């Protein structure tokens, strides 16, 4: 896992941290993307939440494939839940955290 050693500044920190953490809860990823357009911190975590949501939707669609799709969906969902927890913890701690593997896709999102 890669983790940058940068932390979010103290001004507006609590609100940005909470909104950034909410961004990892499924469709609520739009909250930081819409409410905190001026906060690079909240946008960073909101985009990562959006990538996790898209990844979970892809897994969910793949779930229709008998046996193999269901196994991949189950294992993928566990991995996504772990990434959600890690993302929320890092957001609440004020850290810019890049998810392993999927983080590069979040950086490519332009809003």
What pLDDT digit, counting tens, does each position of 61-103 carry?
998 999 999 999 999 999 999 999 999 999 999 999 999 999 9
Per residue in 23-42, pLDDT tens? 999 999 999 999 999 999 99
CB distance 6 to 29 below 8 Å: no
CA dist 36 and 24 (Å) reads: 15
- Provide the pLDDT for residue 29: 94
Report the phi/psi class of residue 103: left, alpha or beta, with left for phi > 0 and alpha for psi in -120 to 50.
alpha
Report the phi/psi class of residue 67: left, alpha or beta, with left for phi > 0 and alpha for psi in -120 to 50.
left
Instruction: State yes or no: pLDDT of 2 exceeds 50.
Output: no
- Provide the pLDDT for residue 13: 79
Q: What is the mean pLDDT of the chain?
A: 89
CB distance 22 to 28 below 8 Å: yes
3-state secondary structure of 3: strand
- Provide the pLDDT for residue 9: 53
Q: For residues 61-76, b (16+ Cβ closer than 10 Å) or e, as one string? A: eebeeeeeeeeebeeb
CB distance 86 to 97 below 8 Å: yes
Q: Is the pTM of this model over 0.75?
A: yes
Instruction: State yes or no: pLDDT of 3 exceeds 80.
Output: no
């Amino acid at each position: 896992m890669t983790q940058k050693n940068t932390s979010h500044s103290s001004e507006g920190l609590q609100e940005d941290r909470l909104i950034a953490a909410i961004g990892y809860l499924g469709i609520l990823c739009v909250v930081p993307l819409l409410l905190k357009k001026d906060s690079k911190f909240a946008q960073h975590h909101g985009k990562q939440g959006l990538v996790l949501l898209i990844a979970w939707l892809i897994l969910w669609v793949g779930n229709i494939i008998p046996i193999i799709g269901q196994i991949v969906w189950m294992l993928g969902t566990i991995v996504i839940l772990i990434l959600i927890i890690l993302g929320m913890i890092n957001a609440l701690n004020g850290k810019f955290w890049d998810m392993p593997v999927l983080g590069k896709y979040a950086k490519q999102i332009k809003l």
